[in-house]
Structure 1
Amino acid sequence: MNRYFLYLVVLNMLTNVIIFVPRFLIRYRFDGMLISIVIAIVAGMALMYADTVIYAKFPGQGLPDIIQNRLNKPLRIVILVTFAFFWFIAGLLTLLGYIDILHRFINPELPKVLLIAIFLLILCFVVQFPTIKVMYLLEIILIINVPFIVFIFIKAVTSDYLSWDSIFEAGNHLYNMPNLNAVAVASYIFSGYANIIIFNRLFKEKIKKINFVLIFGISLLTLFTSIMVPIGMHGIDSVDEFMYPWIIMVDSIRLPYSPIERALFIFLMLYVNISLISVAVHWHVAFELVKGTFSANNRVKKDRLVLALFFVFSLLSVIRIDYMHPGKISMYWLVARLLFEALAVFGFFLFLRRRKA
């Protein structure tokens, strides 16, 4: 079961390679990007380890189960709804980001509303699954897709168009002062650990230390390649001109012996699966948290009402996305998310201390 924890973290790392991390971090390539990445790795690993140690005290239980008989009902509802809101927004931002990518690079004539409606029908079906079935689906998708994604990463790193001079130039700014926004963005690749809030129901034993060693190594590789490869391909000065630097970079890769020569289409199709299961995991957590506030009466109707809210709010968001400045909203949310995660871990630690007392 320990491998399930690794899946949750790796999923978040893969998803944010094209949506959040390179797009925002590259803005700070001259203003403390590298030192911010180092701080983000330390902070992310520390929060992850602390959270897993705390939840190990409650094997086989999610947050709704843990606080069910330990907090009064109004406080319990406030906590669960607040957590559910953050998880829903995390999934929604990922979904909106990928809808924008598909609209720009695959079919600009297809209305975004129709595109998101198709995805929402799939998501509203998947998020109702039992937690173990969601994890099985995640495992299958990762096993099928990750080898191809790794292959494309290797093709990018070994490309003749990769300029190591630009990469070394970025490395010269290692000692610049760190930036809070950059730390928040870089630390987001670790946020998959927070899904343990529900998926702890699958963990009957402590997370083994080998998982943290693997995550540390994968995070180093993911962060530095997701930033340095676009810088090496586009140049350190011009890389900031692209909204999705990884997408443009992959479009320069050719696979002459493949049925599809342009790697971009393969890359985007792989990430359709990765992004959809990422949103499904986030919304499954939000769905289970909201369910924790319900009584047993009329459970089916209440579940359908929650799914209807997910559906309607997502449709309204994609309709108004051009007026909402999604880039600014995403950046504000990433900073708020880091503070919220730290506060959640610290608050749960105090809760554990009070329980012992």
Structure 2
Amino acid sequence: MRVEEGRELNRYFLYLVFLNMFINVIIFVPKILIMYRYEGAVMATILSIPIGVGLAYCYSTAITKFSERGLPEILGTAKHRWLKTLHLGSIQLIWFSAGLLTLVGFIDILSRFVNPEMPKFLLLLIYLAAIFLIIQMPTERVMYLLEIILFINTPLILFIIFKAYTNEFLNWDSILEVGTHIFKWPSLKAFAAATYCFSGYGNLIIFNRVIKGKLKVWNFIIIIFLGIINAFTTFFIPIGFHGSDGVQEYLYPWVSTADSLRLVYSPIERVIFLFIMFYMSISLISISIHWHVALELIKGTLKKQISRRKSWVILSVFTGISIWGINYLNSILLMKLAVYWLIIRLVFEILVVIGFFIWARRRIA
């Protein structure tokens, strides 16, 4: 009975990876890859698949050996408390900043394409109200909410991607032109952006609490298959619609690509409105997942139950930093910050995966 339950709940691991693949499409990654389309982005996308899946496999198989325990519980008996605090603290910063960049970026998208006259501050307050409600829920309930959102939105997003691939205005010659630069060695910036597609497994730091049993090989086969589709769709579809040269003019290539699609017999003809509407919930749950992990790591660092008053102090800090981000990070600065954040994330991710994999093997042995 235990084994069957573990097999069933392996889908939760896939949800975390799928979510990161979906959010990968809309904000920073397509723009960064397109910036380096003639300078190694194709090779970066290809290399990101085995390396990203390899990192996911090493970390996921290591942490799921500690069944139904998050990282704070796993490190609870660590001898060096200062090392545990440093480890959890650095992860908190990475995860919080991931949610912050997504939040500021998507509010910029809403402000540009949906309602330019609506103050960004009001959009921020609406988002934060929903996010704070979600991140304080138990981890299992957050996962249930993620499952519902993916169940509703995934078929619709896949339909839009299908319409893009089958559109008569998709220029395959532009895609093939960029593809001829396959042997250009990738820059670190392009490679860091490409590997982010597979980084959803990192949320197991906390969500391992709801994973029962060991992960099976088919989990990673599915990730390889969908990762290939996601990586090349993210990169090549905007190039096919806007041309190998013209695509660089767009700040958010996939939003502009969605605006190029039409559903002639639909009540809503312009796909951009459907696309952004679907991604409102995807971005909301993505930010909530990252900040839920950050909040739970803060609780784990303090090693005691946080009172309601202290909890609101933490949420107030989250709010203050978010307001600062909305006021001072314009689109260009936000993109530059995202590029360097992705590089830091890649280096940090590799070090954490290797370090934890070695530590876990020694601990279990």
* TM-score of the superposed pair, with normalisation by structure 2: 0.95
**1:333 equivalenced with 2:341 (yes/no):** yes
Of 157, 163, 173, 1:165 maps to 173
Alignment match of 1:117 (pick from 121, 125, 129): 125
- Name 1:190's counterpart in structure 2: 198
Amino acid at match of 1:72: H
Change in 2 beyond 3 A, CA 1:279/1:158:
same
- 1:31-87 C-alpha deviation (Å, 9 max, x unpaired): 111111111111111100000121122111110001112233333222212111110
**In 2, distance between residues paired with 1:323 and 1:277?**
22
Give the whole-Å Cα distance in 1 for the aligned partners of 2:207 and 2:26: 25
Counterpart of 1:7 in structure 2 is 15
- Aligned counterparts of 1:92 and 1:298: Cα–Cα separation in 2: 22
| Aligned pairs (5 A) from 1:190-339 | 190-296=198-304, 299-322=307-330, 325-339=333-347
Q: 1:77 aligns with which of 85, 95, 102?
A: 85
CA separation in 1, counterparts of 2:236 and 2:90?
36
User: How do residues 83-122 of structure 1 correspond to structure 2 at under 5 angstroms?
Assistant: 83-122=91-130
The one-letter code sitting in structure 2 at the alignment partner of 1:168 is L
Cα deviation code 1:181-232 (max 9, x no counterpart)? 1110000011100000000111121111111101111010011111111111
2:189–2:339 CA contact under 8 A, matched in 1: yes
Paired residues of 2:63 and 2:360 also in contact (CA < 8 A): no
RMSD over aligned CA atoms reads: 1.4
The one-letter code of the counterpart of 2:90 is T
Q: State the distance in 1 between where 2:278 and 2:364 align.
A: 47
Q: 1:2 to 1:44 in 2, by over 3 A?
A: same
2:62/2:361 contact within 8 Å kept: no
Cα distance in 2 for residues equivalent to 1:103 and 1:323: 11
State the shift of 1:161 in Å: 0.7
User: Within 2, Cα distance between the matches of 1:245 and 1:83?
Assistant: 30
SS in 2 for 1:259: coil
Q: Which amino acid is the alignment partner of residue 212 of structure 1?
A: F
Distance 1:297 1:34, change over 3 A: closer
* Partner Cα distance (2:68, 2:305) in 1: 25
Report how far residue 28 of structure 1 moved. 1.0
User: Are the equivalent residues in 2 in contact too, given 1:54–1:349 (CA < 8 A)?
Assistant: yes
The aligned residue for residue 6 of structure 2 is none
d(CA) in 2 for partners of 1:200 and 1:179?
Answer: 33
Q: Residues 20 and 276 of structure 1: is their aligned pair in 2 closer, same or farther, counting only changes over 3 Å?
A: same
Contact 1:64 1:292 in 2 (8 A): yes
Instruction: Return 317-326 or 260-269, whichever deviates more.
Output: 317-326
1:117–1:315 CA contact under 8 A, matched in 2: no
Distance 2:185 2:244 in 1: 19
Tell me which residue corresponds to 2:154. 146
Contact 1:291-1:303 at 8 Å conserved across structures: no
Partner Cα separation in structure 2 for residue 6 and residue 163 of structure 1 = 32
One-letter amino acid matched to 1:13: M
Report whether the alignment pairs 1:342 with 2:343.
no
Q: 1:96 touches 1:318 (CA, 8 Å); kept in 2? A: yes
Which shows bigger deviation, 247-256 or 315-324?
315-324
